[in-house]
Amino acid sequence: MKTKIFLDSGDPAETKQAIELLGDLDGQTTNPSLIAKNPDTVGKKFSSKELFDFYRKVVGEVSSLIPQGSVSIEVYADENTKAEDMLSHAREFNLWIPNAHIKFPTTGEGLKAAEACIKEGIKVNMTLIFSQEQAAAVYAATIGAKKGDVFVSPFIGRLDDRGENGMDLIANILKMYESGDGHVEVLSASIRSLEHTIKTFELGSDIITAPLKAYREWVGAGKPIISDKLQVTSDKLKQIPYEQIALTKPWQEYNIKHELTDKGIEKFASDWNSLIE
């Protein structure tokens, strides 16, 4: 199967369960909201240093369980965070484990930080992707990177939530990247259903990241990778048409603004700040 399987979780106990369920894992994605759901943080407050130390402990445990895989660590970012601050965190996080991808929001400041990281040899995962133009900007900002060093993470479920077919975005980005050099991998995120899981495999997304619950449902269904007999619900959603977008422009020339990216940043920052005393 072409698609690599990542777990979306901030809990190493779930990493162990996923490995037992699936036999192996190719990686894991984490973010502030997932750390806030970790059983060891629920109902507790931390100083900023204590919280970063806890995050480091979590990704260290995950890394030891999947040493040949990738572990995504997300920088703190709110609407006012500058690229220099993100880059400072990225350099620190990259030292925590040997198999890190540093997650940045797909904003102007996030892309500046990612561009600098690629030049420094730091692997990146650009998150909160909701449009082809955002994916095109990531491609342009990270030119020169090796395959496997850059992920784009389109959020399927959050598009579905507002009546758009998030799977269309995955298909559109994969098609757009066919004309490129292959240095960016598509990581399908915000998996909400068995249909999402199966369609991600069927489309040939480079990577899928999903919660443990989704993989249990997939295994229970017999681990299908084509949707012939699937009860399709996405037919009720508005299609996202493919756009002809060249990958050759400077990243600053793409329209990367998206309201769901802004809302996602706000949510991640709120969840992180809720843990700080």
Confidence of residue 127 (pLDDT cuts 50, 70, 90): very high
Is 103 one of the catalytic residues? yes
The arithmetic mean of pLDDT across residues 111-132, rounded, is: 98
Local confidence band at 232 (pLDDT 50, 70, 90 cut-offs): low
In this predicted structure, the answer to whether residue 236 has a pLDDT above a threshold of 80 is yes
| Confidence label for 231 from pLDDT (cuts 50, 70 and 90) | low
Confidence of residue 234 (pLDDT cuts 50, 70, 90): low
Out of 2, 16, 37, 103, the active site residue is 103
Q: Residue 227's pLDDT is what?
A: 78
Nearest Cα neighbor of 212 from 33, 14, 4 is 14
Mean pLDDT of 42-70: 97
* The pLDDT of residue 233: 65
pLDDT exceeds 80 at position 266: yes
Whether the predicted pLDDT of 171 surpasses 70: yes
SS (H, E, C) the chain: CCCEEEEECCCHHHHHHHHHHHCCCCEEECCHHHHHHCCCCCCCCECHHHHHHHHHHHHHHHHHHCCCCEEEEECCCCCCCCHHHHHHHHHHHCCCCCCEEEEEECCHHHHHHHHHHHHHCCCEEEEEECCHHHHHHHHHHCCCCCCCCEEEEEEHHHHHHCCECHHHHHHHHHHHHCCCCCCEEEEEECCCCHHHHHHHHHHCCCEEEECHHHHHHHHHCCCCCCCCCCCCCHHHCECCCCCCCCCCCCHHHCCCCCHHHHHHHHHHHHHHHCCEC
The pair phi, psi for residue 69, each rounded to 5°, is: -100, -170
**What is the structure's pLDDT at 61?**
98
Is the pLDDT reported for residue 229 higher than 90?
A: no
**% residues pLDDT > 70 (the chain):** 98
pLDDT of 185 > 70? The answer is yes
**Structural domains of the chain sorted by starting position, each given as residue range(s) with its CATH number in brackets:** 4-273 (3.20.20.70)
Among residues of the chain, what percentage have pLDDT more than 90? 95
Tell me the pTM. Answer: 0.96
Mean pLDDT value across residues 17-33: 97
pLDDT over 70 at 160, yes or no: yes
The whole-number average pLDDT for the span 227-234 is: 65
Residue-averaged pLDDT of the chain: 96
Residue 277 has pLDDT above 70, yes or no: yes
User: What confidence category does residue 230 fall into, taking pLDDT thresholds of 50, 70 and 90?
Assistant: low
